[in-house]
């Protein structure tokens, strides 16, 4: 799925769209338009929040972060605090996944509540 396909064909009513693949928060600079990419396309389509990555992260690290993030969401935490807590849990867990490379790539765009 590419940004132009979302702009043209997708309409949704989603509180959160998670783009957990590599570099999903990046885009290209379009003169007079700003940054165009998947995050902007999903906002245009109706997503109130998008969780996206800024660089390539291993599947294992991404899965670990997402499991922690969604467990915290299910427990009632707002999206911003769930992401922050999931990232802190990875740091506290130690080992290779405690390095920021493994958890800091993800940003929450849009409505953070």
**pLDDT tens column, 28-53:** 777 666 567 899 999 999 999 999 99
- pTM listed for this prediction: 0.90
Q: How far apart are CA 58 and CA 45, in angstroms?
A: 28
Classify residue 113: in a domain, yes or no: no
C-alpha closest to that of 57 among 84, 88, 27, 26: 26
**pLDDT value of position 23:** 85
**Which range (17-21, 23-27, 62-66) has the least confidence?**
23-27
The tally of domains found in the chain comes to 2
Question: 26 with 39, same domain?
Answer: yes
CB 84 within 8 A of CB 52: no
Same domain, 42 and 88: no
Asked if residue 67 and residue 52 are part of one domain, the reply reads no
Q: Do 49 and 94 share a domain, yes or no?
A: no
CA dihedral (76, 78, 84, 86) positive or negative: positive
Task: Say whether both 48 and 3 belong to one domain.
Answer: yes
The domain of 3 spans 1-56
Q: What is the pLDDT of residue 29?
A: 73
């Amino acid at each position: 799925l590419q940004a132009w396909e979302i702009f043209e064909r997708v309409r949704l009513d989603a509180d959160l769209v998670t783009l957990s693949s590599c570099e999903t928060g990046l885009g290209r600079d379009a003169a007079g338009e700003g940054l165009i990419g998947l995050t902007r396309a999903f906002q245009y389509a109706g997503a109130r929040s998008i969780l996206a990555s800024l660089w390539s992260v291993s599947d294992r690290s991404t899965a670990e972060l997402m499991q922690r993030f969604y467990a915290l969401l299910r427990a009632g935490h707002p999206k911003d605090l769930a992401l922050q807590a999931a990232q802190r849990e990875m740091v506290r867990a130690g080992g290779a996944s405690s390095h920021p490379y493994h958890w800091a790539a993800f940003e929450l765009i849009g409505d953070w509540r």
